[in-house]
Structure formats: C-alpha cells, structure tokens
Amino acid sequence: MTVAEWHSTLFQCIGTIVSLLALGASIVAVILTYKNLSEMRKQLSEQQNQYFEQNRGNLIFYIQKSSIGVTHDLIIKNFGNSPAKLLSLCITPDLDWSKAGHSDVDEFNITKLNNIFLAPQQHIGTVFDFTNFEETELDVEIRYSTCNKEFREQYKVDLNYLHKVFTLEPKIDNELSALKYINKSIEALSEKFI
C-alpha cells in the first residue's frame, strides 16, 4: 500500500466516522425535537382546557335562607363566563311542594324546569319552606350544556346547615341609614327578579 492509498483510506475512515457522528447527532436532534414538540402539544392542550374551563358556563344549584320570612330560596345560577342551557335538575328525595305554604307554588317547582337558557351571572329560583321537611340531605343532579358540550354534576346539599345561617339585622340610627338600608334592600330584591 502506497502512502497515497494509505492517506486515501485514512480520509475515507475519518469521513465515515464523521458521517456516523453526524448521523448520531441528527438522530439525537430528531428525538429531542420530537420530545419538545410533544411537550409543546401537551402544554397547548392544557392551555386550551384551562381556557375552556375559565370561559364555559357553570350552572350550580344551591339553597339560601330567604331574607324575608322562614322560607328558603332554591336557586340555579350560571357562575360561568358563557351562556348555559339547563337540561334537567333532579333532587332526591322529591320536595313536597304541597307543603310549600302556597297553593299555586307547584307550578314554580324548580325541578320541572328544563331547556332554560341562562346568560352568565343570570339565575332563576323559587322559594320553599323546609319547616316540615324531615330529610337532612338532598342528592342533586344537574345536567346542562355550554360551549357545545354537555355536563352532568352530582352533589349533596346538607339541610342541617340551612337553619344555622347567621344573619344580621341593620342598625338604623337616623333617616340616612334607613334610606341606605332601603336602597340596598331594593337592589337585592331587584337582582332576584332581573
């Protein structure tokens, strides 16, 4: 083997080694790029889910003590940022509307409502008197649709806490404080009807 042949063989070996190293580096780059793209896709999916959760409609059924009398307000409110459509509300055990204190209140039975459109922060409600109600828990199932998706949520409402709500009566010292209280009462009342 001549010196020229030996140099040629050496350069071919070096070229082959460099090519193999470049191939290895390319394979590592492809793997890292794939992992990076997978991570970016995962982050994008999480951001889309987070955006959806922040902006979807969110219907919640709850009970609050009425500001007037012994009744309680049964309310369905859209706490979300998008409109939602109430598909159904099921309360177990059934509420006996004949004991609600009024003869025509059965037509305002909140569990009979369906296909009700609620804008963000809008609510619907009715009243119910739990004085003669013997059950201590209600099982609630609410179904609604928002942003072209349907949701079904189930939870319990503990009625033992309804009568343990602490309320304060306003202290009216003069006409100005009385007028302020009347104004706040009218605003609260109008929010329930609007």
Q: What is the pLDDT of residue 103?
A: 54
Q: What is the mean pLDDT of residues 158-176?
A: 73
| Cα–Cα distance list, 22 to 19, 26, 29, 169 (Å) | 5, 6, 10, 81
Residue scoring higher pLDDT (47 or 68):
47
What order do you get walking across the sheet with 116-118 strand by strand? Answer: 116-118, 84-92, 137-146, 149-158
The per-residue pLDDT for range 127-157, each reduced to its tens digit, is: 887 777 778 889 999 999 999 999 999 999 8
Range with the largest mean pLDDT of 1-10, 38-47, 173-182: 38-47
Task: Give residue 9's pLDDT.
Answer: 86
* pLDDT interval class at 102 (50, 70, 90): low
What are phi and psi for residue 95, nearest 5 degrees?
-80, 135
Query: What would you measure as the largest C-alpha separation in the chain, in angstroms?
Result: 117
Write the DSSP symbol of residue 4: H
- Alpha-carbon separation of residue 40 from 26, 27, 45, 46, 51 (angstroms): 21, 20, 9, 10, 16
For residues 167-191, average pLDDT: 78
pLDDT in tens, 65-100: 876 667 788 899 999 999 999 999 998 888 776 665
Three state DSSP letters for 9-58: HHHHHHHHHHHHHHHHHHHHHHHHHHHHHHHHHHHHHHHHHHHHHHHCCC
- Top pLDDT among 171 and 119 is at 119
Please say if the pLDDT value at position 29 is more than 90: yes
> The whole model's pTM is what?
0.65
CA distance 146 to 84: 5
**Which residues make Cβ contacts (< 8 Å) with residue 14, sequence separation at least 6?**
none
Three-class SS state of 160: helix
How far apart are alpha carbons 66 and 22 in whole angstroms?
76
181 burial (CB, 10 Å; 0-12 / 13-18 / 19+) is: middle
Nearest residue to 126 (alpha-carbon basis) of 76, 58, 68: 76
> Which range is least confidently modeled, 23-37, 82-96, 172-186?
172-186
Q: What is the mean pLDDT of residues 51-56?
A: 88
